[in-house]
Every structure is written in structure tokens, then in C-alpha cells.
Amino acid sequence: MIYDTANTHTFVQALRFIADNPGLLATKALEQMELSGAAIGLALLVALPLGIVLGHLHRGSGVAIGASLFGRSLPSIFLIAVFLTVLGLGFENNMVALAVLALGPILTNAYLGVEGVDEDAVEAARGMGLSRSGILTRIELPLALPLIYIGIRVAAVTVVATAPIAAYAGGGGLGDIIANQASYRLSGVLGASICVMALSAGVWALLLALQRATTPKGVRVARVQNPAGELGKEGL
Amino acid sequence: MSTAAEIVFDRVTKRYAGRDGAALHELSLTIPAGTFCVLVGPSGGGKTTALKLVNRLISLDEGDIRIDGRSIRELEPVELRRGIGYVIQNVGLFPHMTVGDNIATVPRLLGWSKTRIQERTAELLDLVGLEQGDAKRYPSQLSGGQRQRVGLARALAVDPPLLLMDEPFGALDPITRARLQDELRRLHHTVAKTVIFVTHDIDEAITMGDRIAILREGGLLAQYDTPDAILAHPADEFVTEFIGEDRALRRLALRRLSELELDPVPNPDRPRVEASGASTVRNAVSLMVESGESRLLVLGDDGTPIGVLSLAHAAELLR
Amino acid sequence: MTAAGGPVIPNFGSGSSCVTGDHLFCWDWVKQHWGDTLGPALAQHVELTAIAVSVGFVLAFSLALLAHRRRRAEQPISIVAALVYTFPSIALFQLLVPFTGLTYTTVEIALVSYTLVILFPNIVAGLEAAPPEVIEAARGMGLTPRQTLFRVEVPLALPAIVGGLRIAVVSTIAIATIAATILPKGLGFPIFYAIALPTPFKTEIYSAGILAIALALVCDRALVLLGRAVTPWTRVGG
């Protein structure tokens, strides 16, 4: 790999790179969002129902909380490599690899959210004659929404910010630029990275807006800090 | 173990930031050494403020507070506080320390030796009615009443001449509260420190206090006197309302039957109602009213009659 | 892609039938190459992580104390933390190279950054967890603000700090694999190497990766035990 010389103008050059290559960056960004979106969707499909059900049944806390621990310990390059060997080169191997990364936060937070709903509220609902599914949909899920959304947000940002590594396995996206300093030089690497950050921020903001729009007014929203800090809110 | 300090409030004034009224307005009173003084009043009366001014958790606007003649402004706040015991409603025990470590906090700050701390801790546990084994336990393992006892022990650790207590029994259930009130009063007989005790409960004030200071809204002192004097001669309408319409009965609750000069026991024609000498005149009156009797037989500790109390005599006590 | 200047470790060893046939997992390769590939990589990985977490912890703790005293400092630091977290790790490593070269320093700066942004919010949250009546009692008893901080607030923050450390350690072990884009060190190197071969070599990938995961899980468990040891009051029944 060719390494550029040190340079305080690199940041300015990065901005120029962005200005000069809107088409390229847009295409790559779209690729990356496609991949990320698919990965998050897959993870949601698997982890969200599982987390909600486990939380509702107050079972499987070990699995639910351990999933995050395990997910966190998976090196992203390892995931990419494994699925490359298993599924071959293509869209699917990277999608699955990134989805694995997203499982942890979604599962754990969905579990904690539903499991942690105020017992008194559930008890009152049962006393009023709500069925099990009624309790789940009308009481537990709405009250669990803040935590569920936190899990989705953290997962989404993790996937978007990690997706560049898929370039090592033909995944495309902005990683094609970031992993290719030889062609695009440091200004390109930095420029593409800034785009990744912007994408992450955008995804975060979008999901936050979605949360505000869909959460009933009476449900308290936990104080939102930042993705790294939110990771820490999971069970000790 | 009987160090006690005289506390003087000298025209103490404290204003609220950004509000019109004063929290305290030229409060002046003298608390003789060894007195159990209760600050009581409705919320907004400034009683907690007055308490916190003494150990400078809140700063004075005007006036002065003197402990044994020395102004509190003369000492550094931290030093001042180490010489004053402070007990609050939620106790504030350090959850990460054992009971023993909690009690040893200030002694350690002052550099006491390990042996001295151990001896003092054992002494204090006895004094507040806890077991020696409790020293190794953590606050989370204790009941509310036990925690408050530890709080008291912790406050007494270095034998301070002054004890500040801010509604310490407010968060306890009535039975525990009554028991702790009792024990604290007995402790005070033994230990005789100056105590400033804040409560919003007039009953608690009457039970506990040697002197009571009633603070009304706006931080004004309505009356400062012994419980009996306040009950007998309330200073104004506010005090009268505050202590309640049954103040006469409350006064009677301050006296025990065994303290009185009783009528001799007639034989035959004994009263049909009886009570032990340890119970209060108020209870005796209650029994008489309930049964329609006008006389009551008083029994000694061994159960033998020692005298008779009549309703008329009880009424006389109020004159 | 290869890391510039990295030594080429002989691949495929002495070519057993398992290896040349590229079966799923070849134990003989693992045993053969433990000494020259996996073992050293593991040791390097531990070293990289240990330094990063230690330095990151010291920095995060200092910043947290600052943010605790001056609440207004918390916002800007949190924003910076969020930015660092979303910055692609492969890029961060590369961007440091012009300044600090292809060295351990580069790797450590990047790893410390990630550790910092994980630890900082956790330590701050921990420091704020002390119940208000405990702080009031401490003040009223005559503890100085510093004494209150170190004898009361910090011990009570330990559960959150240990929790943050667990996450930081596990995450750092995973991110440290990216160091191999700069240095041929750590458990990332065998993976990057094996994935770039004409036919990716499964055994090398899996063994290095599993080692990294195992290392992370072991460290996590160790921290759980450490956490319990330093917080005896959380273990007694309430």
C-alpha cells in the first residue's frame, strides 16, 4: 500500500475530494446503504421478535445479554472472512456478516425493554382481563419502545460505520475508497470517511425522529447520549 | 461523655434567591447547653434552613450564629462540620461501607488510632441499641430503623457537643418511629448534648423537646418555650391553631400518674377503672370518659393500688 | 492488500492433504503453526490491547472527573466521542500513518481513541450514580469535596466503571484486528493475510478469529470476577 506524506492540508484536500467527486461518492454511499440496510433488516427479522418474546416470557436472559457480549467480541474482519469462505464472493456474504454484528444490540435491548416493563402495570393489566397477547401489544411493547429503539439505533450506526470493511470481500460501498489509498490517496480516504460519518449521523437522526413519531407521549424517553455510551447501558 | 454547647442565633436572616419572602427573618434565640430543642412549623417556615445554617451547608445572609460564644464564621466549614453531628431523614449511609466503616468515617478523618476507633464503635453500637455483630454488615442488609440508628451512631462518633437532626424519623413507620423517639429521649438523658431537632409534626415536638421553637411562614419565630408553657399559653392565633384544639389533653399527656399527689384509696367503694402509674393523665381521663366514671384507681409497679385520680383533679392540673 | 514491509509468513506449511485440499478446519496446521504464527500473534494482540486499555482508562477517568466537576464540559466531550465512534476504523489507522508512521504508536493512538469513547460515558454515569442523600451526609459530616469524590463517589461508581471496562476490553480486542492493516502484528494479520490469498485459507482465518473471540470472552469473565471482588457490598442480600 502506498502511504501519503504527512500533511495538514489533508483535511482541506479531503473536502475538495468530496466536492470534486459527488457522483462517485453518491454511488458508493448508495451501495453502502443498500448493504447496510439489508444487513439491518435481516438482523431485525431475527433478533427483534426473539428479544421481544424472550423478554415477555422472562426467559433466556443469559442468551439475550450474552448475545451482545458475543457480538461485541467478533472482529468484523473475521466475520467478513468467514462468510466469504462459506458463501463465496457476493452481496450475501457481506450482508450476513454485518447482520451478525447488528444482532447483539437489537436482541439485548429488545429483551431488556420488554422484560423490564413495570411489573405493576402488567399485573394491573392482567387483573383487568387482558389476554397474554393483549398485554404484550398494548402494555409491554409501547413501554419497551425507548429501549428497543436504542438497540436499533446502536445496531444501525454500528453497521453503517463498519460496512467499509466489506470492501475486503468485494462488498463495495465507501470502503472501496477507504481501503484503496493507492488510487484515491489520503484525501480520498478522509473524504470517504467523512461521508461515512455523515451517513451514520443521518441514520441516527432518522431513527431518532422515527422513535419520537411512534412513541406514545406518556412513555419516558431515556436520555440519549451517543452510540458508544449507549452500549454501556446494557446489563452489567 | 457529656460535652454540650450553647447555641445562640443572633438576628439570623436568610433570603431566598430570586424570591420576595425571607426564608428566615431576624431569628434570635438561645439554646442552653444540653437542651433538646425542637424546631417545628409548617413547610416554608424555614426550620430546615435554620438547621443547615448552623453547619454552614447554607450560608448566612445577615446575623450570626455562635457555638459556645464562637461565631460559626470563624471556622472553616469543613472543620466546623467535623465537630457537629448531622443526621438526615434518608440517613445517607454510605452503601459501599460496612456499618463499622460508616461510623468510623469522621474519626478516621481526624486521625484516630485503630484501637480507639474500635472501642468507640463498640461503645456506640451499644448506645444506639445495635448488636456488635452489626458492625460488619452493609446498609442494604438493615431495616429502616436500624439504618437510622447507625446514622445516629455515626453522628455521635467523635462525641460532638452539638447534634443536628433533620426530620430523622420521617421516613419510618409509626411503630418504629415511636420506639426510636423513646430511645432518643432516653439517650439524651444519658448523653445530654445540645440537640437541634427539626420536625413538621407537633406531636413529635411535644414528645421530644425540652424547648420548642415554632417557626411560621416567612421564617418568623412565633413562640419559643417549654412544651407545657406553649400548650398552656399559646402566643397567638397561629400557634393556637398549629398546636390544635386538644391542647389541654396534650398537656395532660405530659404528666404521668405516678408523679401526682393522688387521693387516698377508699375502701369499699373502689373505682371500677384502673391504670398503671406509668401511664399518662391523658390516658386516665380517656378511660374515665369512656366508662362514664369520674374516678380512676392508680396502681403501682407491683399492681397494688397507690391512689385515686378524679376527673376534677385532672382538670385542676390545667390551671 | 498486504501491509507494507510485513514479513511473509510461510503459508500452507508442509502441505498435508487436509491443507492442500482446503478442508474446513485442519488441526494439524494449527499444531504445526502455533509456534510461528498463532502463538506470537496472540501475544502481540494481548500486548496491543493491554496498552490501549490502560492508557485509555487513565485518559477516560481523568476526562470523566473533569466532566463531573464541570458539567458543561460533558457535552463537547460526548460529541467528540460520538464522532470518533462512527469514524471507520480502517480509515483512522490509515490517517494516523502520515503523522506517526507504520508503528505501534499509530495503532495505539487509534485503539486508545476507541477505548476512550466507550469508557468515558460509562465512568461519567457511574460518578453521577451516588444517591443525593449520601452526598449530603458526606458534606454535612465534614468531608471535603475531594474526600467525598474519592471515598464515596468513585467507589460507588465502580460497578459502572467495571461494566465499561468489560465492554471496552472486548471491543478493543476485536478492533485490534484492524491493526494488521498497518502492522503485521496481532491476530488480525493471519486473517487479512489468509483472506487475500487466491483461495482464502479457511483454517488460518478460523483459528485466528476463534482465538480472538476466546481471548475476549476470557477477559470479560476475568473482569466480572474482578468487579465482584472490588464491590463486596453488591453481593450481600438486601
Each residue's pLDDT tens digit, A76-107: 999 988 898 888 888 888 999 999 999 999 99
DSSP secondary structure letter of residue A222: P
State percent of chain B over pLDDT 70.
98
Per-residue pLDDT for B42 more than 60?
Answer: yes
* Residues of chain C contacting A228 with CB distance shorter than 8 Å: 81-82, 84-85, 117-118, 120-121
Please give, rounded to a whole number of angstroms, the shortest distance from the CA of C82 to a CA of chain A.
5
Per-residue pLDDT for A219 more than 80?
Answer: no
Classify residue A166 by burial, with Cβ atoms within 10 Å: 0-12, 13-18, 19+.
buried
Task: Among B89, B94, B155, select the one facing C134 at the smallest CB separation.
Answer: B94
- What are the CA-CA distances from residue B302 to residues A54, A105, B276, B299, C51 (Å)? 67, 74, 9, 8, 79
Please give, rounded to a whole number of angstroms, the shortest distance from the CA of B79 to a CA of chain C.
6
CA angle C141, C147, C153 (to 5 degrees): 95
Predicted confidence at residue C238, as pLDDT, reads 47
Please give, rounded to a whole number of angstroms, the shortest distance from the CA of C140 to a CA of chain B.
6
Task: Among A75, A192, A225, select the one facing C174 at the smallest CB separation.
Answer: A75
Domains of chain A: 9-234 (1.10.3720.10)
Please give, rounded to a whole number of angstroms, the shortest distance from the CA of B89 to a CA of chain C.
9
CA angle C184, C189, C193 (to 5 degrees): 110
List beta partners, residue C17: none
pLDDT in tens, C79-116: 888 888 888 888 888 888 888 888 888 899 999 999 99
Chain C touching partners, 3 or more CB pairs below 8 A: A, B
Predicted confidence at residue B259, as pLDDT, reads 85
Using CA atoms of C135, C137, C143, C148 in order, give the dihedral in degrees to the nearest 10: -20
Determine contact: C129 vs chain A, CB below 8 A.
Answer: no
Distance CA C157, CA C231 (A): 10
* Residues of chain A contacting C216 with CB distance shorter than 8 Å: 72-73
Determine contact: C58 vs chain A, CB below 8 A.
Answer: no
pLDDT-based confidence at residue B188 (cuts at 50, 70, 90): very high
Predicted confidence at residue C6, as pLDDT, reads 45
Which of the residue ranges A141-145, A215-219, B39-43, B252-256 would you say has the lowest mean pLDDT?
A: A215-219
* Residues of chain C contacting B92 with CB distance shorter than 8 Å: 131, 133-138, 140
Given a contact cutoff of 8 angstroms between Cβ atoms, the answer to whether A234 and A113 are in contact is no
Per-residue pLDDT for B141 more than 90?
Answer: yes
List beta partners, residue B213: B39, B224
Given a contact cutoff of 8 angstroms between Cβ atoms, the answer to whether C112 and C56 are in contact is yes
Mutate to test the interface with B, among C141, C148, C156 (most CBs of B within 10 A): C141
Q: Are C137 and B91 a contacting pair at CB < 8 A? A: yes
Mutate to test the interface with A, among C26, C86, C169 (most CBs of A within 10 A): C86
Per-residue pLDDT for B124 more than 50?
Answer: yes
pLDDT in tens, C117-150: 899 989 999 998 899 999 999 999 999 999 999 9
Please name which of B236, B277, B235 lies closest in space to residue B256, comparing C-alpha atoms: B277
* Residues of chain B contacting C157 with CB distance shorter than 8 Å: none
Considering only residues 9 to 38 of chain C, which have any Cβ-Cβ distance to chain A shorter than 8 Å?
none
Cell of A70: 458475543
Given a contact cutoff of 8 angstroms between Cβ atoms, the answer to whether A145 and A211 are in contact is yes
Please give, rounded to a whole number of angstroms, the shortest distance from the CA of C86 to a CA of chain A.
5
In order, the DSSP letters of B228-250 are: HHHHHS-SSHHHHHHH-TTHHHH
Mutate to test the interface with C, among A36, A65, A72, A89 (most CBs of C within 10 A): A72
Q: Are B82 and C142 a contacting pair at CB < 8 A? A: yes
Please give, rounded to a whole number of angstroms, the shortest distance from the CA of C116 to a CA of chain B.
27
Given a contact cutoff of 8 angstroms between Cβ atoms, the answer to whether C3 and C178 are in contact is no
Distance CA A94, CA A101 (A): 11
* Residues of chain B contacting C141 with CB distance shorter than 8 Å: 81-82, 86, 105-106, 154-155
**B56-85 mean pLDDT:** 92
Predicted confidence at residue A8, as pLDDT, reads 61
Per-residue pLDDT for C237 more than 70?
Answer: no
Q: Are A81 and C195 a contacting pair at CB < 8 A? A: yes
Determine contact: C45 vs chain A, CB below 8 A.
Answer: no
Per-residue pLDDT for C197 more than 90?
Answer: no
Per-residue pLDDT for B202 more than 50?
Answer: yes
CA atoms within 13 A on the CB side of C93: 22
Classify residue C216 by burial, with Cβ atoms within 10 Å: 0-12, 13-18, 19+.
buried
* Residues of chain B contacting C142 with CB distance shorter than 8 Å: 78-84, 106, 109
Distance CA A225, CA C20 (A): 51
Task: Among B84, B105, B138, select the one facing C236 at the smallest CB separation.
Answer: B138
Phi first, then psi: give them for residue A172, nearest 5 degrees.
Answer: 75, -160
Q: Are A227 and C79 a contacting pair at CB < 8 A? A: no
Task: Name the residue in chain A with its Cα closest to that of C97.
Answer: A3
Q: Are C208 and A78 a contacting pair at CB < 8 A? A: yes
Single-letter code of the amino acid located at B34: G
* Residues of chain C contacting A160 with CB distance shorter than 8 Å: 86
* Residues of chain C contacting A179 with CB distance shorter than 8 Å: 1, 90
Per-residue pLDDT for B246 more than 60?
Answer: yes
Given a contact cutoff of 8 angstroms between Cβ atoms, the answer to whether A91 and A37 are in contact is no
Which of the residue ranges A101-115, B194-208, B260-274 would you say has the lowest mean pLDDT?
A: B260-274
Mean of all residue pLDDT scores within chain B = 90
The helix (run of H) or strand (run of E) holding residue C51 is: helix C39-69
Residues with Cβ within 8 Å of residue A170, at least 6 apart in sequence: A89, A90, A94
Please give, rounded to a whole number of angstroms, the shortest distance from the CA of C57 to a CA of chain B.
22
Task: Name the residue in chain C with its Cα closest to that of B105.
Answer: C141
Q: Are B94 and C138 a contacting pair at CB < 8 A? A: yes
Residue with more model confidence, B28 or C79: B28
Superfamily in which the C33-230 domain is placed by CATH: MetI-like (1.10.3720.10)
Please give, rounded to a whole number of angstroms, the shortest distance from the CA of C142 to a CA of chain A.
33
Task: Among A70, A196, A226, select the one facing C82 at the smallest CB separation.
Answer: A226
Mean of all residue pLDDT scores within chain A = 85
Single-letter code of the amino acid located at C121: P
Q: Are A193 and C163 a contacting pair at CB < 8 A? A: no
Predicted confidence at residue A229, as pLDDT, reads 44
Distance CA C178, CA A138 (A): 45
pLDDT-based confidence at residue C196 (cuts at 50, 70, 90): confident
Residue with more model confidence, A182 or B55: B55
Do the two chains B and A touch, given a threshold of 8 Å on CB pairs and at least 3 pairs?
A: no
pLDDT in tens, C30-87: 877 888 888 899 999 999 999 999 999 999 999 999 988 888 777 888 888 888 888 8
Q: Domain residue spans in chain C?
A: 33-230
pLDDT in tens, A13-48: 888 888 888 898 999 999 999 999 999 999 999 999
* Residues of chain A contacting C163 with CB distance shorter than 8 Å: 232, 236
Q: How many CB pairs under 8 A join B and C?
A: 77
Q: Are C238 and B94 a contacting pair at CB < 8 A? A: no
Predicted confidence at residue C200, as pLDDT, reads 80
| Positive or negative torsion for Cα B134, B140, B146, B149 | positive
ipTM of the complex: 0.82
pLDDT in tens, C3-18: 444 455 544 445 566 6
Cell of C43: 501475544
pLDDT-based confidence at residue B103 (cuts at 50, 70, 90): very high
Please give, rounded to a whole number of angstroms, the shortest distance from the CA of C97 to a CA of chain B.
46
Predicted confidence at residue A227, as pLDDT, reads 47
Please give, rounded to a whole number of angstroms, the shortest distance from the CA of C73 to a CA of chain B.
26
Task: Name the residue in chain C with its Cα closest to that of B95.
Answer: C233
pLDDT in tens, C155-194: 999 999 999 999 999 999 999 999 998 888 899 999 988 8
Predicted confidence at residue C20, as pLDDT, reads 64
Predicted confidence at residue B253, as pLDDT, reads 85
